[in-house]
Amino acid sequence: MTVILELEHVVKRFGGLVATNDMSFEVAKGESVGLIGPNGAGKTTIFSLIMGEHKADSGSIRLHGEELTKLATHKRIRRGVARTYQVPRPFADMDVLANIEVGLMPDSIMAMIFTAPADEEARAIARSVGLNDADLHRDPAELSMGDLRKLELARTLATKPEVMLLDEVFAGLTAGEIEQISGLLNEKRQEGMTYVIVSHDLRSLEPLIDRAIAMTQGTFVCQGDYATVMSDEAVRMAYLGH
Partner 1 sequence: MSTQITWKHLALWALFLGGMALLPMLVGKGTLRTIIFANYLAIFAMSWDVLSGRTGYISFGHPFLIGIGAYTTAILSYRFDVPVGISIPVAVIVTMAAGTLFFLPALRIKGTYFALVTLAFMELMYQLVQVIRPDLTGGTRGISGVQTLTRGAVNGYYLSLALMGVIAISLWAMMKTRLGTALSAIGMNEEAVEGSGLNTTKLKLFAFMVGAGVAGIGGAFYVHYLGSIAPRALFDINFLFTIIVAALIGGASTIIGPMAGAFFLTFLLEYLRPFLPGAERYFIYGSIALILYMYEPKGLYEILRKARERLTGANA
Chain residues that interact with partner 1, rule: CB under 8 A:
51, 53, 72-74, 77-78, 82-83, 89-95, 98, 101-103, 105, 107, 109, 112-117, 137-138, 155, 158-159
> How many CB atoms sit inside 10 A of residue 203's CB?
9
What residues pair up with 194 in beta bridges, in sequence order? 163
**Minimum distance of partner 1 from residue 159's CB (angstroms):** 5
Q: How remote is the C-alpha of 211 from its chain's centroid?
A: 16
Which has the closest alpha carbon to 160: 76, 65, 82?
A: 82
CB-neighbour burial class of residue 79 (10 A; exposed 0-12, middle 13-18, buried 19+) = middle
Q: CA 201 to CA 199: how far, in whole Å? A: 5
**Minimum distance of partner 1 from residue 102's CB (angstroms):** 5
Q: Which is nearer to partner 1, 93 or 233 (CB)?
A: 93
Q: Which is nearer to partner 1, 160 or 236 (CB)?
A: 160
**Minimum distance of partner 1 from residue 88's CB (angstroms):** 9
Q: Which is nearer to partner 1, 53 or 179 (CB)?
A: 53
**Minimum distance of partner 1 from residue 205's CB (angstroms):** 23
Contact 57, 99 (CB under 8 A): no
Instruction: Say how many residues make up the chain.
Output: 242
CA distances from residue 206 to 52, 199, 215, 227 in whole angstroms, order as listed: 28, 10, 16, 9
Q: Which is nearer to partner 1, 102 or 171 (CB)?
A: 102
**Minimum distance of partner 1 from residue 188's CB (angstroms):** 18
Beta strands in 88-226 (DSSP E): 163-167, 194-198, 211-216, 219-224
**Minimum distance of partner 1 from residue 92's CB (angstroms):** 5
Q: Which is nearer to partner 1, 37 or 88 (CB)?
A: 88
CB-neighbour burial class of residue 175 (10 A; exposed 0-12, middle 13-18, buried 19+) = exposed
Q: Which is nearer to partner 1, 91 or 239 (CB)?
A: 91
